[in-house]
Amino acid sequence: MPAANTCPVCDRPATGEHHPFCSQGCRDRDLIQWLDGNRAIPGPPAEETED
């Protein structure tokens, strides 16, 4: 069982400094992706009722 200590963003070996990422850039990218995923909550469709 290999100890896969790889960056979840780019699959490069993670460094101790930025663990579990390989660099500050991948840290930011992961955070942005996380925020994007969280933000992707579609609001209710605008309802227009006509009588």
- Residue ranges that bind Zn ion, judged by CB under 5 A: 7, 9-10, 12, 22, 26
* Contact (CB, 8 A) for 26 and 10: yes
Q: For Zn ion, which is the closer residue by CB, 12 or 19? A: 12
CA 34 to chain centre: 3
AA identity, residue 25: G
Q: For Zn ion, which is the closer residue by CB, 17 or 51? A: 17
* Contact (CB, 8 A) for 5 and 14: yes
CB of 18 to Zn ion, least distance (A): 8
CB of 3 to Zn ion, least distance (A): 17
